[in-house]
């Protein structure tokens, strides 16, 4: 069973484009519509959101740590410090295509744009000194998710985590805070297709209809 099969089982997939993936130039809203948080108790004190610097990619076998960092990276950028191409390329480096090609970059493009940003909107927002940052509220992984309990991962080492983020969008004249979920898939030892000493991200979902609960 390939990762594509897992995608079809765990979510309602959108049809991937047939063309070579590339940053889009169409304009979308800078912020996605706020969504309801996962059904879990939130911390009594809300974490503060202070940095728009994309988090470092951890080299670890702790898939929960990697999922948290990846989710934050997906919702972190700063037009004052980086171009869209730089943001796109940095986040693209997190996504590891499997040998069988079952997690193509076309999906990466779709899901990144599902966060509400692309080349066109980023260029427009640059004039407003826009930036986005996020903190993790909580996460659930593997058997903590109902869909994974129903359909377990097809091989040892494949993990799925859904992370609840508190996101802050700012410009020179506005501020908007909202909560979104992100599902992150990681391939870890002892999987044959994973590195021997650390986990890697092999996919993520930001579109509301594809979140794994």
The whole-chain average pLDDT of the chain stands at 84
Continuous segment of H or E residues that includes residue 204 = strand 200-205
Is 98 within 8 Å of 185 (Cβ atoms)? no
Q: What's the predicted TM-score (pTM) here?
A: 0.79
- The answer to whether residue 3 scores a pLDDT higher than 80 is no
SS3 of 112, please? helix
Which tokens belong to 208? 């509301």
What angle is formed at CA 184 by the lines to CA 183 and CA 185, rounded to 5 degrees? 125
Strands of the sheet containing 158-170, edge to edge, are: 77-78, 131-141, 158-170, 175-187, 200-205
The gap from C-alpha 19 to its chain's centroid, in whole angstroms, comes to 22
Record: fold of 56-210:
Nuclear Transport Factor 2; Chain: A, (3.10.450)
pLDDT for the residue numbered 55: 87
Domain-wise residue ranges, the chain: 56-210
Residues near 52 by Cβ (< 8 Å), separated by ≥ 6?
76, 77, 78, 81, 131, 132, 133
> How far apart, in whole angstroms, are the C-alpha atoms of residue 120 and residue 113?
11
Most confident of 7-11, 51-55, 111-115: 111-115
Which of the residue ranges 34-43, 158-167, 196-205 would you say has the lowest mean pLDDT?
34-43
> How far apart, in whole angstroms, are the C-alpha atoms of residue 205 and residue 75?
12
- The answer to whether residue 35 scores a pLDDT higher than 70 is no
Q: What is the mean pLDDT of residues 22-38?
A: 43
Burial 127-153 (b: 16+ CB within 10 A, else e): eeebbbbbbbbebbbeeebeebeeeeb
pLDDT for the residue numbered 6: 56
> How far apart, in whole angstroms, are the C-alpha atoms of residue 192 and residue 41?
36
Does residue 190 have a cis bond before it (omega within 30 degrees)? yes
Which of the residue ranges 6-15, 46-55, 59-68 would you say has the lowest mean pLDDT?
6-15
pLDDT for the residue numbered 113: 97
**Tokens 């890697």 found at:** 200
């Amino acid at each position: 069973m390939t990762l594509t099969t897992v995608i079809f089982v765990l979510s309602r997939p959108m049809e991937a484009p047939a063309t070579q993936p590339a940053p889009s130039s169409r304009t979308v809203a800078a912020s996605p519509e706020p969504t309801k948080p996962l059904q879990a108790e939130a911390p009594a004190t809300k974490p503060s959101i202070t940095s728009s610097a994309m988090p470092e990619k951890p080299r670890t076998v702790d898939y929960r740590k990697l999922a948290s960092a990846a989710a934050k990276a997906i919702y972190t950028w700063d037009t004052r410090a980086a171009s869209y191409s730089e943001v796109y390329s940095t986040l693209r480096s997190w996504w590891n295509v499997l040998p069988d090609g079952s997690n193509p970059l076309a999906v990466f493009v779709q899901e990144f744009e599902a966060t509400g940003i692309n080349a066109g909107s980023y260029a427009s927002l640059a004039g407003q000194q826009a930036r986005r940052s996020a903190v993790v509220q909580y996460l659930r992984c593997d058997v903590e998710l109902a869909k994974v309990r129903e359909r377990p991962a097809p091989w040892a080492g494949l993990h799925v985590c859904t992370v609840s983020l508190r996101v802050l969008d700012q410009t020179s004249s506005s501020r908007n805070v909202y909560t979104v979920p992100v599902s992150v898939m990681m391939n870890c030892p002892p999987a044959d297709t994973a590195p021997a000493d650390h986990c890697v991200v092999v996919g993520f979902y930001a579109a509301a209809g594809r979140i794994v609960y």
